[in-house]
């Protein structure tokens, strides 16, 4: 599945309309972002049940601000409209795939219950 470009206009539709979204915050001038982009694209092709989205932080500073992105690349994972992971830094492919596996295995009912506490 191709990646989706997230903007302020389509953010709610994409994130609220899908159970599992992985967001890559990036910029064109960012070397580590360019190194991570092929890893992100390959994973998007492997996991067609997950929405892989990219936010150009230069074009969408409001979204970067809403996620309090301080350095790029930053990855965010949203499951069932809950932010379950966010971390700056480019990941090697095997680490990224393991992160996806862990996010899949989350018990979202448990996550929601612990968020209420």
The H-or-E segment that residue 30 falls in is none
Map tokens 């982009």 to a residue.
37
Q: Is 33 a catalytic residue?
A: yes
Supply φ then ψ for residue 53, to 5 degrees.
Answer: -125, 150
Candidate list 22, 23, 33, 90, residue with the active-site label: 33
Phi and psi at 99, nearest 5°, equal -60, -45
Q: Taking a C-beta distance cutoff of 8 angstroms, is the pair 16, 78 a contact?
A: no
- Helix or strand or coil: residue 22? strand
Q: 38: which 2 tokens?
A: 């092929």
Catalytic residue of the set 6, 23, 30, 77: 30
Residue 74, strand partner residues: 25, 88
Residues carrying an active site annotation? 30, 33
């Amino acid at each position: 599945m191709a990646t989706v470009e997230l903007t302020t206009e389509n953010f709610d539709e994409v994130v609220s309309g899908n159970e599992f979204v992985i967001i890559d915050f990036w910029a064109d001038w960012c070397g580590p972002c360019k190194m991570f982009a092929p890893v992100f694209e390959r994973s998007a092709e492997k996991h067609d049940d997950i929405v892989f989205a990219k936010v150009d932080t230069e074009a969408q500073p409001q979204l970067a601000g809403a996620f309090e992105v301080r350095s790029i690349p930053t990855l965010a994972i949203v499951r069932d409209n809950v932010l379950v992971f966010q971390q700056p830094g480019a990941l090697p492919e095997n680490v990224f795939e393991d992160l996806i596996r862990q996010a899949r295995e989350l018990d979202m009912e448990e996550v929601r219950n612990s968020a209420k506490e």
